[in-house]
Amino acid sequence: MIDLHAYPHQTITITNRHGLDVFIRFNGEVNGRPLALLAHGLSDAHDSDALRAITSALIETGHNVLVWDATHSTNRSGGTLRQATVTAAYQDMADVAAWAAAQPWYHDRFVLAGHSMGAAAALMLASAEPKLISRLILIAPLVSGKLAAKRINFAVRWLWRVSRRLPLPDGSRNVLGYNLLRDGLNYDGQLLAANLEVSTVIIVGDDDKTTPSRESKLLFDVMAPQWRHLVIIPGANHVFGASLADLETAAKTAIWLV
């Protein structure tokens, strides 16, 4: 894995459409390298272990890589986790892409990658602006808000709805607002993927309990055969843990798949 601390980079903070700060890191230099945009998932940050592995893979395949801390997470950007939604993640991505378009290192088409809820946002942007995307890489993607809701215990969902807050299980003081579930029910990745005409690679672990590989297979099944690839990493969980080297290899391979 590349030492990203030593790799040439720039950091900047922009303001999104809601007036919140978004921390951005551009890994690369002003040169002819193609661009890749990479988004993290819920309650994560641009420099988590999984995101660093993917960033390294994209750099090693010849890309400048733009990563950012989404708002309403646990990172350097504004907002609170209680306000996190799929829509907010998508809007941050669209705002970052619009900002990037005015930079000297921008190219007309870029690789777009995302992990978990960041993958949902990436699928939404690729569906809205397919001509901007040269390749889509969905890592452990959130496939459907309704499918995700079914995996939440009914009692937990009921208490969440009543109290409008769901404490995270890690013992922190952060809570998820009920609007995350309500907004998520409007997200249907299968519907978006069925009409997508962008070369897409889905990477998921077969021990992922958060976004199970069986749901990634549902996403894969609705895509046109000429656009789709599915990579399942044995033993890998949602954040890839001990499988980070396999994730990095899969992300490198995703660039070369036709």
Spell out the domains of the chain, with CATH numbers in brackets.
Answer: 9-256 (3.40.50.1820)
pLDDT of residue 137 exceeding 90:
yes
User: How far is 86 from 186, CA to CA, in rounded Å?
Assistant: 9
The single-letter DSSP state of residue 236 is -
Question: Is the distance from CB of 237 to CB of 229 less than 8 angstroms?
Answer: no
Binning pLDDT at 50, 70 and 90, where does residue 211 land? very high
| Per-residue pLDDT, 172 | 65
pLDDT digits (tens, 9 = 90+) for 5-39: 889 999 999 999 999 999 999 999 888 899 999 99
* Lowest-confidence segment of 3-7, 56-60, 227-231 by average pLDDT: 3-7
Q: Is 204 exposed, middle or buried (0-12, 13-18, 19+ CB in 10 A)?
A: buried
| Per-residue pLDDT, 144 | 96
pLDDT of residue 258 exceeding 70:
no
Q: Whole-model pTM above 0.85?
A: yes
The share of the chain scoring above pLDDT 90, in percent, equals 84
The share of the chain scoring above pLDDT 70, in percent, equals 98
Query: Tokens 């490198």 — which residue?
Result: 252
pLDDT digits (tens, 9 = 90+) for 152-174: 888 888 888 888 888 877 666 78
Average pLDDT over residues 84-105: 97
Binning pLDDT at 50, 70 and 90, where does residue 85 land? very high
